[in-house]
Amino acid sequence: MSNIDFYFDFLSPYSYLAHSRLPDLADKYGYGISYKPIDLKEAKLAAGNTGPATAQMPMKLRYAMADLTRWSQKYAVPFAFAKVPPVTSRINKGTFFAIERDQARDYVSRAWLATFGSGGDFNSDELLAGLARQMGWSPEEFLEFTGSDAAQRLYEAGNKAAHERGVFGAPIMMVGEEMWWGNDRLDHLEDYLAAHPAK
């Protein structure tokens, strides 16, 4: 099956919005989704983007909050202004646990509903354990994995591969060498999928 490579960080609300439509687009055109969790901050730094974060720019933050509300209303998905921690590596690394069990799409969807969908704490043991139970996993095994050296190695390798491929932000969707950056480029992605039937 042809795949859409989806580069994301759970801390990115625009990645959440993109994913609210991406599975339906993939299914419509016969594509799979290959989930690629990355450290967004590291991706930006590796690409030479050292500008201040939105949280450090009050005017931009006000605009972003209004913009996110508009997009969530347009897509008819819940949106809560969750407190975004400095890092979201554990919930990101949990994606590898899901990939090994062929449950990535469900995990990613549930994780975002628990965070930007309802305002949950990204780094909470309780939230992560609750996700594991929803997925039918052992919470203890899942939490142990997210803090393990093995998960860290997978994460570092994924970040390195993303940088080598030219990934500089999130969300980024790629099919082959074609790239689309941002939730607001999904229509362009759909145009491409419609013109290139899955193999």
| Dihedrals phi, psi of 57, to nearest 5 degrees | -125, 90
Contacts for 78 with CB less than 8 Å, ≥ 6 apart: 72, 113, 117, 118
Distances (CA, A) of 149 to 90, 92, 199: 12, 14, 37
β-bridge partners, 6: 35, 173
Catalytic residues: 12
